[in-house]
Each structure stands twice: as structure tokens, then as C-alpha cells.
Chain A
Amino acid sequence: MSCCGPGANYDEVDEVSRLVAGKLAAFLATLRDNGFAVGLQEGQDAASLMVAGYAARAALLRSAFKHLFSARKSDWDAFDGIFDAFWLGKRLRSRSITVGSAKAANNPSLKSLPNHAAELRPGSESAMDQVPSGDDGPEDRSGEGRMEGASRADNIAEVDFRKFTDPAQIEEAHAAAARLAKVMRTRLTRRDLARRRGYRLDLRRTIHGNISHGGVPITLVKRQRKQKPLRLVMLLDASGSMSMYTSVFLRFIHGVLDQFRQAEAFLFHTRLAHVSDAMKEKDAGRALDRLSILAQGAGGGTKIGESLQTFNRWHAARVIHSRTCVMIVSDGYETGDAALLGREMAALGRRCRRIVWLNPMMAWQGYAPEAAGIKAALPHVDLYAPANTLQSLTALEPYLARL
């Protein structure tokens, strides 16, 4: 790009600068697609950097842009790859989105999971969590008119998530999960407010406030300890063995993130993905679509231990404070190192207030925590609960309120 020298005539300069501007705009779009927060000001600064001479050498430009556009560690790590792919045409090793490459066909949407799951495993096994109707066959579960005088919502509350097959029913369960999240938030915050009470005298402020009285302390200023709102950090197992539960929990998490001011969500299978930003999308369907890109596993299996290690190393300090409850939703089938899982659970336990482990399989008949993973993790868990029905999710709320 050194062609903008004094020798070039104006038309050429115009042409070149238009090309460069177009290319730069496309690069900014690529960065935005990859989750970078890039605004207009950054674009202008980038252009001025290129004019100032940074464009002369790729390494120089990369380093300058990296500082300008990155806003966090994950950006910092991903930037070089995206830059090389875009400007130098190198192939990306990790999965990033470049313009036009996100084909819907290659990214199966998470929204299709429930149907998918139904094909994999026709709901048949246990009779633990069914509507008390005496009728066990999932096929003729019409849902309506079966329980006289009871609302349909009650009916749904006790049905195992994996037994939903009808799309309308699934939608209803999802909506109920979102509603539940909302109710939880309202109750929890109200309790929080009632607890506030000032207890210490702020002398400096008192003197300040009473200058108008000539310094006689008539009105006292008190100090309140700021009550930290409860923060929920959710880690959801999105591996194959959990597939029939993933979608409904995603909806629940979406509701929680929408309602709680302080909540963070992570997905894991063989690696950990921070999904709070993707879940901030107001529309649940679109949010799930954005997730489907993140949620694809690199292969089979669940590496809970490794995912927790990543969490402890890179995210825990940031997202966990003294009033944090970490909620892990997983069946505990660890395909990695179970000892590592135990160690990382211990490290996590030192950091946060409570660890809740929700295991949808727990309510299955004959289920016992025999898998090496869950065995290693259980000693560090404060609450181990089933979570296969809406009712069991509701039962969590009083527990969370006590934190």
C-alpha cells in the first residue's frame, strides 16, 4: 500500500483509497461477526493508522489493529488468526466466522434438538416422573382432559423433559421454563432489598451535610453495606448424552440471563464456551441459533474436568464473587480424567458460595451415581438434585434464596 506516494496521480489515489476503505469495512464486519465490539470510532482510528504508515507491513498493522480492536483476552488470542485469514489469506486453525462462510446447512440448529432426541431415544424407560394417571404409555399421552380440575401447567410440571414429543408441548415447556426464571428473579431480589440496613456512622459525610447548621451534627449520615445481588453462574453440559435435556435448559438459562442482572452462562462438551453474550439476544429462537455455532462439539465425549479447568483458569476470577452460586447441569459422564474433575471441583468450591449440581438422570429408576466422573465430583457439591421436570427446577428457588 505504499502506492499512495507522491508519484501517483489523484485518480489512482482515489481508486486505491476506495478499495482500501472497502476492504477495511469488510474486515470490521468480519471482526463483528467474531464477537468483537467494534464501533465507528475504531473504524476511523483504523483508517488513520493505515494512513499514518502502519499499513506498510503486515506484522506492524496486525500488532496495531490487535491493540485497537481487542477488548478482552479471548479477542486478543483470536485476533492474529482472523487477521491472517482476512488479509493474508491463510487458513484458520480454529473455527472463526469470516464473511459469508456461516452456512445454515453446515450448522445444525439447536432448535432441532428435541425432535432429534426423540428419534434417538423414544421416551420409554422409567415411570418415575409421570403424571399420576396410571397411564404409562408415552404415545397416548394427550395431555388434555386427563386431570380434571387441574391446570395444564401443573400437568406439564411433572413430566420428564425428555418425554415431550409434541412440538406444541415442547414450546409450552420452554415458555414455562422462561417464566419460572422470571418468577425466581422477582422473589430473590425482593428478599435482597428487605435485608438492607445502615449500621455505621459516616463522620465525614455527616460534617459535610451539616455545614449549613454551622457544623452541629443534626442530620446523621449512615453507611450501608452494599448487598451484593446473588449471581448465578450456569454451566450446561451440551454433550450427546444430555441432548434430550439441552434445549429445555437452554431456554431456562435464556430466561435467567434475561431476568437476572447478574448471571453468566457457559456451555461445555469437549471444550468450554462462554455463551452469555449470545444468550443476550432477546428473541429466544435467534439466541439458540447463535448458540448452535458455539455448541458444536469437536468430537464425541464430555470433558467436564478439562472444561472446569478452563473455567477456573480464565473465567472464575471474573464471574465469581462471594455471593455466587455455580449451577452445573450435567449427567456426570466424564470421558476425560475423573481425578482432574475432582481437583477442579475442589478448586471451584473454594471460590464460590455454593455448587449446585443438577442431574436430569438422577430421577431415573435404578440410577445411581456410579460413573467415575460424578463420584469424583459429588464430595464437593453442596446440593445434588434432579432436574428433569419443571417442578424440580421450581424446587430450587427457596434454596437459592437462602444464599
Chain B
Amino acid sequence: MEAVVQDRNEIAERLAAAGYIADGELATAISLMQMLKRPLLLEGEAGVGKTEVAKALAAVHSTELIRLQCYEGLDQSAALYEWNYQRQLLAIQAHRGEAAEGIEDQIFSEKYLLERPLLAAIRRTKPPVLLIDEIDRADDEFEAFLLELLSDFQVSIPELGTIKAVTIPHVVLTSNGTRELSDALRRRCLYHYVDYPDADREARIIMARIAGAGASLSLQIARMVEAIRKEELRKVPGVAETLDWAAALVGIDVRDLHDAPETVHETLMCLLKTHEDKSRVTREVTERLLGKVA
């Protein structure tokens, strides 16, 4: 048991050193990931810092981050490997007249293989962090294919044979919930729901990221953002928006939100990204929210 707790605390410390202020549960998730060798599925609203987790994880293991951004229509040739057809054609033209077998061996060799993120991730000597971002944007078919790769960690290329994983990468998947993921994929993964950080944690994030943000200002900003999130908005500001706003306030040299209510209201455009939200948070609303921030 001591080992488990120690392991968790160590991970939390290393995450903090990497600039990611994690909640306690995320540290558990990461230690489980290593122990059970399962991928980690992160879900949560846009802008809560899901992608940041993968970046921090790469820093914790001091390893490379390989990112695969998913989109509708993403297929094997963009995700796994592809032959460099243009070069193959040139080679065929250049070696015209030679024995066909020799040419074939040549053009279907490693030299003509284009490595895409998934293949790259299983061929590294040091296990990298493989971030499969927004898996919900890819099609069902791709998800099924991914599932196979994640359970076998081997790829078969008809012309070359089977390529087995040199090392098993640390896999992190993120989802915004634009599509329901298959039960099979969900079951293979550990699940972690990333929520908006509470005010204390957000304040620590601001201090870690924005040079010159003092403790009291950071806490004020975090509390203000927390209050704004509770308003009925179309687009709830994420952590990235908070950081933008904090950077703006520090840049304008605001030391205390109560000293400059005008500036606070004018810089709220860092947080509110639609016209509707902007018009909903009027000067009066800003003042009311400021009043709540001690």
C-alpha cells in the first residue's frame, strides 16, 4: 500500500514539475495506466485541459509526444502508414528495363514507407506518449481499426509483413462527446472525466503558467471565472480562456480586480466568445459577480 501511495504522490509531484496542476484522481489514473497497461480515455468539456494532460504525461516520462488529430474521414493511410507513391513511380521510371523483382524489392522497402503517427508510436525505442485527440470526430470504422491496434500493438503491411511494436506507447485518448463511442473502446480504456478545476486549483494553474500573476490576483481571477461559469452561457470559458484573461490583466498591470472594474469588464472578451454571451454579461452583471469575489 505504501508503494501505491508513494507512486501516486510521485506522479502528482512530477506532473506539477511539468507545469500541470492535477487533481488527486488524475494521478491515480496515470499510475493505473502504467500498472494495467491500458489506454486512458479523457472526456470533458472543450477547454478543460484534456490535451494538456498528454503533454504533461510526456514531460513526466521525459519522452516524445506523438499526436494524432482525428477528423471525419480520417483513414488508415493518414493515421498508420502510406507508401510514397511519387517516389515509387520515379524509381520505376529510373530503373526501367531492369528485372521486375529487383525493382519491386526496392520500391517496397522502408525507404519508400511514409510513417504516420500510429506506426511511429509503436516503432520508437523509448515508449512515447501517443495522444489520439478528439477520437469522437473520427468515423466508427476508424474506431474499430484503432481498437484492434490498441489490443495487439502490431500492424501488418501486406508488402512488408507484420510490424510488431518495439515498445508499448502510453496511449491517451480524448473525446469531446460529439459522438457516442463504442462500448468496446470504452471498455478497453481507463476512464477519467476532466471537469473544470475548482477555484483553488485554477489559481494555482494561473500562477504556474502566467509569470507575474500574484497569489491574491490569481485567486480573484479564478473565483471570478468560477462565477462566470455559473451564469447561463452558450460557450462556457475553459482554462485556456482563463489563462488568456489572466495574461491580459497582468499585461495591463491590474493588481486587484476591485481597483479596476472598468478594465475587468472590457477585458471579459477574453472569456466570452459569442455575441449572445457578451450581451448577457452586462456591466451590472460584471459588478454583481465582482461583488461575490472576495
Contact = CB atoms under 8 A, between A and B. Distances in A.
A319 interface: yes
B4 A37 contact: no
B43 A67 contact: no
A127 B179 CA distance: 45
Contact of A67 (B178, B186, B191): B191
B88 A211 contact: yes
A75 B24 CA distance: 19
B215 interface: no
Interface stretch (A53-61, A151-159, A168-176, A288-296): A53-61
Contacts of B77: 204
B24 A63 contact: yes
B79 to A, nearest CB: 15
Interface in A32-81: 37, 39, 41-42, 45, 48-49, 52-54, 56-57, 60, 63-64, 66-68, 70-73, 75-77
A53 B183 contact: no
Nearest to B27: A63
B285 interface: no
A2 B29 contact: no
A207 interface: yes
A187 to B, nearest CB: 24
Interface residues of B, number: 40
A226 B73 contact: yes
Nearest to B234: A347
B267 interface: no
Interface size, A (range)? 35 or more
A366 interface: no
Given A54-B4, A63-B28, A66-B25, A72 B191 contact: yes
B177 interface: yes
B186 A37 contact: yes
Nearest to A46: B36
Contacts of A56: 1, 4
Interface string B182-199: 010011011111000000
Interface in B61-114: 73, 77, 83, 85-86, 88-89, 92-93
A70 B86 CA distance: 47
Contacts of A57: 1, 5
A282 interface: no
Given A54-B4, A207-B86, A211-B89, A67 B187 contact: no
A211 B192 contact: no
Contact of B191 (A49, A76, A321): A76
A398 interface: no
B180 A318 contact: yes
A317 interface: yes
Nearest to A1: B1
Contacts of A45: 36, 38
B252 interface: no
B35 interface: yes
B43 A73 contact: yes
B1 A71 contact: no
A68 B186 CA distance: 10
A214 interface: yes
B187 A60 contact: no
A67 B189 CA distance: 9
B270 interface: no
10 contacts: A49-B35, A52-B4, A53-B3, A54-B1, A57-B1, A73-B43, A208-B83, A214-B93, A318-B179, A321-B178
In the A-B complex, the 9 residue pairs with the closest CB atoms: A56-B1, A71-B186, A53-B1, A70-B191, A53-B4, A76-B193, A215-B89, A63-B28, A67-B190
